[in-house]
A and B are shown apart, each in its own frame.
Chain A
Amino acid sequence: MEYFQHLLIMVLIYACLTVSLDLNIGHAGILSFGHASFYGIGAYTTAILTVYAGLDWFSAMVLAFATGAIIAALIGLPTLRLGGDYFILALFGFSLIVTSLIINMEWLTNGPFGIRGVPRPSIGPYQVQSGYGMLGFIAIMTAFIFFVHWRFASSPMKAALHAVRDDESVAMSLGINVVRTKITVFALGGGFAALCGAMGAFYFRFVSADSYGLQTIILLWAMLFVGGNCSLLGAFVGPAVLMLFPEMFRFIGGQGWDIGHIQEALYGLLLILLMMFRPQGLVGNKVGLRT
């Protein structure tokens, strides 16, 4: 039962990450390879502020969001005007730099050892302790994040984003400030990824650099494309499939094989097959991947 709880919490956290990645990739056409870094930046901001600075959990979470959003805006400002491949590369480089900085800035991040002892959230006298309490907390956060993204996707903001994604010149000719729109939405993606980092930090009570690197980026992209672009449901389906699918191998009994590598091989294969046979994902809207 405890393990089931754990899986459910992981699916929810990844669903939040996926829906915020979808805001960038699906709705705005910004192929962000920095999402896992913003996730990590949020986790580390939370850990540093609560463990080292003794800040309360809620302020730490808000500041984590702000830090993620500000760093995303700063990195987006010079890079978003670059063309597709250049932007992908710039963000790739950015994510490697972030990983390297986390490992090397020992005075701030405790280097490769990570930071332990992140407190659990509390509301008044009540401190979230049990697994169920944590599941409840994560579920409330997930509901909030999905509500916000549902509002985005059901407002005039959606049309403006899709216009920028599909044809920047036409969007400009219709009065949309393309640069500002892209930076805003990229900053929002960074902020929400950082918020997910805070959620993860509260749950694991521990942050370390290797959770936010290349493997996580690929996992997030796989989750998004399995579920499908521009779909709130897809943002649940992708993480659920990719988190629960490998569990089957545990029961079938992949003795002697490294589960982690089998998982990775499957993610890779899945990405290729999805691009070939179902670029819109399992439950995504009819729109295929473009740009």
Chain B
Amino acid sequence: MLLLQLFIDGMASGALYALTAVGFAIIYNGTRILHMAHGAVFTAGGYALYIAVKLLNLPIAVAVVVALASAAAFGVLIDLLVYRPLRARKSSEAALFIGSIGALTLCQAVFALIFTTDTLYLRQGPLPIYDFGEISITIMHIIAAGIVIVVFPILHLFLTLTKYGRAIRALADNPKLSVVRGVNVERLYMLIFAIGSLLAGFAVSLIAYDLGVRPEMGFPVMFVSLVAVIVGGVGYLPGAAAGAFLLGLLQNLSLWQLSGRWQDVVVFGALLIFLIFRPAGLFGHMLSTRRV
């Protein structure tokens, strides 16, 4: 019974990781930027929700829309202010990565300066819980499942049916293109960052409402998402989602035998094992790393 409970918890956190992981993967596949600042985008969404709920007293549904829009805007802003100038200078991927680390560090510090390092809570008291024998399911489990069931099919339809969605996929196949299906790539980048950040916004809305907001909350989530992308296989979005569920399960099922403080070792141990023995991930094809 404990195992089943852990399985359900694992699927719920897997769903949240899947949202950030697929968001990260869309950005990585299209731009080849190791977008560490995705963590800052995530946190920005959390603080936007906090402001909307606690300071502006907006109804929660409106507040979530504000949080989603803020996350998307924040992601686009980082692209415009950090990555675009670097691209314009033909910077190397390493320089973009360092710029991204810089953006993450800067944002975390600014959040800490504005909001302090304390956890800010959006609600009090226990959440509604539905008990089925020894298994209990919270409202958050249900919402997480609901979001994934609604959002991923919409995303799939967007990427396969619309002009812009197809352009994003074409760019992922060949990131060196400058014009894809008549769409200017710089503009496509904005769309890519908006969508990727929007997905993170969904995840953070749930987590922030449930557990509160802290300046560095985005980092571990971003990092697990990144691991999920690797485990699932770079270049294949369902792979990133599958990797996210796998990691969510792994994290929670490891609680069966290990205490929670070993979770980092479990997750990153899985990363190292995958990188060493199956760098292509579960489903993906590896980026070519050696040229003759």
- Checking A79, A221, A270, A275 against B275 with a beta-carbon cut-off of 8 angstroms, the contacting residue is A79
B82 CB–A CB distance under 8 Å:
yes
Q: Point out the residues of chain B lying under 8 angstroms from A86, CB to CB.
A: 230, 275, 279, 289
Q: Does B265 contact A (CB under 8 A)?
A: yes
Q: Report Cα–Cα, A249/B110, bound state, in Å.
A: 16
Residues of A within 8 A of B85 (CB): 276
Tell me, yes or no, whether B257 is within 8 Å of chain A by CB: no
Count of chain A residues near B, Cβ 8 A = 49
Instruction: Tell me, yes or no, whether A233 is within 8 Å of chain B by CB.
Output: no
Tell me if B's interface is mostly helix, strand, loop or mixed: helix
B268 touches A96 (CB 8 A): yes
Contact B264 A97 (CB under 8 A): yes
Across-interface contacts of B89 in A (CB, < 8 A): 276
Scan residues 61-112 of chain B and give those whose CB is less than 8 A from a CB of chain A.
Answer: 82, 85-86, 89, 91-99, 101-110, 112
Q: A89-B227, A258-B112 are in contact. Are A272 and B82 (CB under 8 A)?
A: yes
Contacts of B223 in A (CB 8 A): 92, 96
Give the contacts of A253-274 with B (CB-CB under 8 A). Answer: 257-258, 261-265, 267-272
B291 close to A (CB within 8 Å): yes
A82 to B276 alpha-carbon distance, docked (Å): 8
Assess whether B187 is interfacial by the CB under 8 Å rule.
Answer: no
Q: Are B113 and A169 in contact (CB under 8 A)?
A: no
Q: Known A85-B34, A94-B268; judge A79-B276 contact (CB<8 A).
A: yes
Closest residue on chain A to residue B85 by CB atoms = A276
Question: Do B265 and A271 touch (CB < 8 A)?
Answer: no
Say whether B271 faces chain A, with CB atoms less than 8 Å apart. Answer: yes
* Given known A-B contacts A93-B271, A276-B99, A290 and B113 have beta carbons under 8 A apart: no
Q: What residue in chain A is nearest B291 (Cβ atoms)?
A: A169
| Distance in Å: Cβ of B178 to nearest Cβ of chain A | 21
Complex: how many Å from CA A84 to CA B4? Answer: 39
Contact of A289 among B82, B98, B219, B291 (CB under 8 A): B98
Question: Which residues of chain A have C-beta atoms less than 8 A from B110's C-beta?
Answer: 261, 265
Query: A83 to B287, alpha carbons, bound, how many Å?
Result: 8
Q: Do residues A289 and B109 form an inter-chain contact, with CB atoms below 8 A?
A: no
In the complex, are the beta carbons of A271 and B93 less than 8 A apart? no
Which residue in chain A gives the minimum CB-CB distance to B110?
A: A265
CB nearest neighbor in B for A265: B109
At the interface, yes or no: A238 with Cβ under 8 Å from chain B?
no
* Residues of chain B with a CB closer than 8 A to A268's CB: 101-109
Contact across chains for B94 and A31 when beta carbons are under 8 A apart: yes
Counting CB contacts under 8 A, is A218 at the interface?
A: yes
Which one of B103, B109, B219, B265 contacts A100 once the chains associate, using CB atoms below 8 Å? Answer: B265
Residues of A within 8 A of B86 (CB): 275-276
| Interface residues in A188-229 (C-beta closer than 8 Å to B) | 214, 218, 221-222, 225
A93-B272, A276-B99 are contacts. A269–B227 as well, Cβ < 8 Å?
Answer: no
Which A residues are CB-close (under 8 A) to B290? 83, 168-169
Distance, CA A169 to CA B98, complexed state (A): 26
| Chain B neighbourhood of A104, CB < 8 A | 261-262, 265
List of 6 A-B pairs having minimum Cβ-Cβ separation, nearest first: A268-B106, A271-B102, A83-B289, A268-B105, A265-B109, A93-B268
Listed A/B pairs (23) with beta-carbon separation below 8 Å:
A82-B279, A84-B94, A89-B230, A89-B271, A89-B275, A93-B271, A100-B264, A169-B290, A214-B219, A258-B112, A258-B113, A261-B113, A265-B105, A268-B102, A270-B102, A271-B101, A271-B105, A275-B98, A276-B86, A276-B91, A279-B95, A288-B95, A291-B92
- Interface residues of chain B, those whose CB is within 8 Å of chain A, are 34, 82, 85-86, 89, 91-99, 101-110, 112-113, 219, 223, 226-227, 230, 261-262, 264-265, 268-269, 271-272, 275-276, 279, 286-292
